[in-house]
Chains A and B, each alone.
Chain A
Amino acid sequence: MQRVNALSFIFIVMVVGLWAYLSYEQSYSPSVFPYFFDFLKVIGDELKSGRVVNDLIASAFRWSAGLFLSVIFGLPMGLVIGKNKFAQKLLLPYLNFFRCLSPLAWIPFAVIWFGIGDAPVIFLIFLGCVFPILFSTIQAVQNVPKVYDQLAKDYAYSESDYLIDILLPAILPQVVSSLRLMAGLAWIVLVPAEMLAGKEGLGFAIMDARNGLRMDLLVLNMLTIALIAHQIDILLLKLNQKSKVRWGFEQ
């Protein structure tokens, strides 16, 4: 992770200072330019009422469920397609076609099929994340050296042993990289998708704040998402340092 150094610290102090100064001057309307002091106050209010925490919990649930479903679906499917020439011929043209489509284009279907609430949001996050994990798994499986298959035969690996002891470890570095990409992507999809949530959620709160012209609240919700997404990214980056993953980046 890039640590905060003296230069970047000075930079952020200057930016916040400028924000505070412009807010003090009140040169712009608070509905266009959120005031720094309103922002500080809204942090206290939101923490006291517990609303931002509830929104965070609701979003975290949808984020994890969407991500989890895309891994549960995309990883095994990627393994099957990566190993099977017939499946590649049958499915790859269509999967390539659909992966170029923004998950947000599915919003009307998401509402018709799942209504309002958690389900359509999870569905949209799933659609946003399933293609990256699917395609990176297919590619990782195709890159597994042929000599591993020969070894598996020589050393009497059963099919399940081959999967657990050879194939999955061999593709793990690429899967972890893809997971990092997906984690970020899921937050990006979450904000517009949560307009289908009906209530709660950081994305919903952003829309709600916008509708009420509460720019101070909007900034708080934006920064909460950025902070959480960044912390998750740091955690996933730490996974890359594990010896079972690191080899993939050092070869």
Chain B
Amino acid sequence: MSNKSILTIQNVSFSYGSTPVLKNFSLDVKERDIISLIGPSGFGKTTLLQLIAGDLKPETGTITKIGLWRRVFQKSSLFPWLTVEENIKLGLRGVDSTNTLNFDTIISILDLGRVLKNYPRELSGGQGQRTEIARALIGKPDGLLMDEPFSSLDYLIRHQTRNYLTEILKEYPMTMLLVTHDIPEAVAFTHKTYLMQGQPASRLKEYFNDGDPKELTEKIWNDLEIRNE
């Protein structure tokens, strides 16, 4: 981790029609931070990622991101008419071809070698999600946005996919922002967890995920505003 900010969200507000979702929301992400953003459904987590990605424009405030950012979506976004290999290589679009991750290495770490010629419909849930991750990573991004990327996977595959990703991050350190509603996952997988608070979301409570995961999970769970209602 360094002190250089790679993503700065300053006083961002956003609403869907007359329903405010984010109000004066701020977050500063440093280079090589691996953080998770937690909040119950409807607290604007996905909206925040869409704002960061540029799908939505903030009503007020600014979002500054540095370098190349890629994202992994909640639902499958692989092109069904392309093979796994062709889907992954899409990640090389619009990036400097001399500064990418090695295709064979990433395939080997994510164990996709046997399915390169297959089409997405022929993959298991875990293989599909690993293909999405490979596509996002192959262009060697500076930052990775992940919107509940494991939510469609069953427990074992979810655990396995997380391990693959941890291995990749060890090999190629980068900034990662994981949005999830799964507290144990956030605690186990990232270095820092932010809990979105307020309705509309306006504050963040910060937790360092270096203590006892069980205790930390309990603590965050107790701090969830929805639980106290």
Q: Is the CB of B140 closer than 8 A to any CB of chain A?
A: no
Looking at the complex, which of B75-83, B164-172, B218-226 is the stretch in contact with chain A? B75-83
Asked whether, in the complex, the Cβ of A243 is within 8 Å of the Cβ of B93, the reply is no
Taking CB atoms, residues of chain B closer than 8 Å to A14 are none
Taking CB atoms, residues of chain B closer than 8 Å to A150 are 53, 55, 73, 77
Name, among B75, B79, B120, B121, the residue most crowded by chain A CB atoms within 10 Å (CB to CB): B79
Q: In the complex, how many angstroms separate the beta carbon of A148 from the nearest chain B beta carbon? A: 7
Looking at the complex, which of A45-53, A67-75, A152-160, A184-192 is the stretch in contact with chain B? A152-160
Q: In the complex, how many angstroms separate the beta carbon of A132 from the nearest chain B beta carbon? A: 22
Asked whether, in the complex, the Cβ of A172 is within 8 Å of the Cβ of B81, the reply is yes
Asked whether, in the complex, the Cβ of A154 is within 8 Å of the Cβ of B71, the reply is yes
User: Which of these, A154, A166, A169, A170, contacts B70 with CB under 8 Å?
Assistant: A154
How far is B70's CA from A248's CA once the two chains are assembled, in angstroms? 27
Contact with B along A132-150 (1 / 0, CB 8 A): 0000000000000101101
Asked whether, in the complex, the Cβ of B119 is within 8 Å of the Cβ of A145, the reply is no
How far is B122's CA from A250's CA once the two chains are assembled, in angstroms? 10
Task: Give the total of A residues in contact with B, Cβ under 8 Å.
Answer: 20
Q: Is the CB of A247 closer than 8 A to any CB of chain B?
A: yes
Contact with A along B80-93 (1 / 0, CB 8 A): 11000000001101
* B residues 105-129 touching A (CB-CB < 8 Å): 119-121
Q: Is the CB of B17 closer than 8 A to any CB of chain A?
A: no
User: Which of these, A147, A169, A170, A250, contacts B73 with CB under 8 Å?
Assistant: A147
How far is B82's CA from A244's CA once the two chains are assembled, in angstroms? 8
Taking CB atoms, residues of chain B closer than 8 Å to A250 are 121
Asked whether, in the complex, the Cβ of A155 is within 8 Å of the Cβ of B121, the reply is no
Q: Is the CB of B67 closer than 8 A to any CB of chain A?
A: no
Closest chain A residue, CB of each to CB of B145:
A154
How far is B19's CA from A178's CA once the two chains are assembled, in angstroms? 42
How far is B81's CA from A157's CA once the two chains are assembled, in angstroms? 17
User: Which of these, A154, A156, A166, A243, contacts B79 with CB under 8 Å?
Assistant: A166
Closest chain A residue, CB of each to CB of B69:
A154
Taking CB atoms, residues of chain B closer than 8 Å to A247 are 80-81, 119-121
Closest chain B residue, CB of each to CB of A151:
B77
Task: Give the total of B residues in contact with A, Cβ under 8 Å.
Answer: 18
How far is B78's CA from A145's CA once the two chains are assembled, in angstroms? 11
Asked whether, in the complex, the Cβ of B94 is within 8 Å of the Cβ of A155, the reply is yes
Closest chain B residue, CB of each to CB of A169:
B81
Q: Is the CB of A8 closer than 8 A to any CB of chain B?
A: no
Taking CB atoms, residues of chain A closer than 8 Å to B121 are 247, 250-251
Question: Taking A147-B75, A150-B55, A153-B54 as contacts, is the C-beta distance between A243 and B90 under 8 angstroms?
Answer: no
Asked whether, in the complex, the Cβ of A155 is within 8 Å of the Cβ of B53, the reply is no
Asked whether, in the complex, the Cβ of A169 is within 8 Å of the Cβ of B53, the reply is no
Question: Taking A247-B119, A247-B121, A251-B121 as contacts, is the C-beta distance between A157 and B77 under 8 angstroms?
Answer: no
User: Which of these, B73, B81, B91, contacts A244 with CB under 8 Å?
Assistant: B81
Q: In the complex, how many angstroms separate the beta carbon of B143 from the nearest chain A beta carbon? A: 12
Taking CB atoms, residues of chain A closer than 8 Å to B90 are 151, 155
Asked whether, in the complex, the Cβ of B119 is within 8 Å of the Cβ of A154, the reply is no
How far is B140's CA from A39's CA once the two chains are assembled, in angstroms? 73
How far is B77's CA from A154's CA once the two chains are assembled, in angstroms? 12
How far is B120's CA from A171's CA once the two chains are assembled, in angstroms? 17
Q: Could you write out 22 A-B pairs with CB less than 8 Å apart?
A: A145-B77, A148-B77, A148-B79, A150-B55, A150-B73, A150-B77, A151-B77, A151-B90, A153-B55, A154-B71, A155-B90, A155-B91, A155-B93, A155-B94, A156-B93, A156-B94, A166-B79, A170-B79, A172-B81, A244-B81, A250-B121, A251-B80
Interface residues of A (CB under 8 A from B): 145, 147-148, 150-151, 153-157, 166, 169-170, 172, 243-244, 247-248, 250-251
Interface residues of B (CB under 8 A from A): 53-55, 70-71, 73, 75, 77, 79-81, 90-91, 93-94, 119-121
Closest 3 CB pairs of A and B: A156-B94, A247-B80, A147-B77
A sample of 5 more A-B contacts (CB under 8 A), given A157-B93, A169-B79, is A147-B73, A153-B54, A154-B70, A169-B81, A247-B120
